[in-house]
Amino acid sequence: MNTTEMAKGMQATLAALDRTLAQPHSRDERARLEARRRDIERKLAELRRERAA
């Protein structure tokens, strides 16, 4: 899988997480989902830096 495909997949995952977070969840579940979202955002930023270099 190339970096463009990886980035598209991560963006799709972020969109799905946003839709999921728009729904009510327990505090623990929301914290888990938000942590996953931050992790994916961090990985996507790293991928973008690598592509720019």
Report domain extents, the chain.
3-52
Confidence of residue 1 (pLDDT cuts 50, 70, 90): confident
φ and ψ at residue 36, rounded to 5 degrees: -65, -40
pLDDT tens readout for residues 12-31: 999 999 999 999 999 999 99
The mean predicted confidence, pLDDT, of the chain is 94
User: Model-level pTM greater than 0.75?
Assistant: yes
Amino acid making up residue 9: G
19 or 53: whose pLDDT is higher?
19
Matching residue, tokens 């991928």: 47
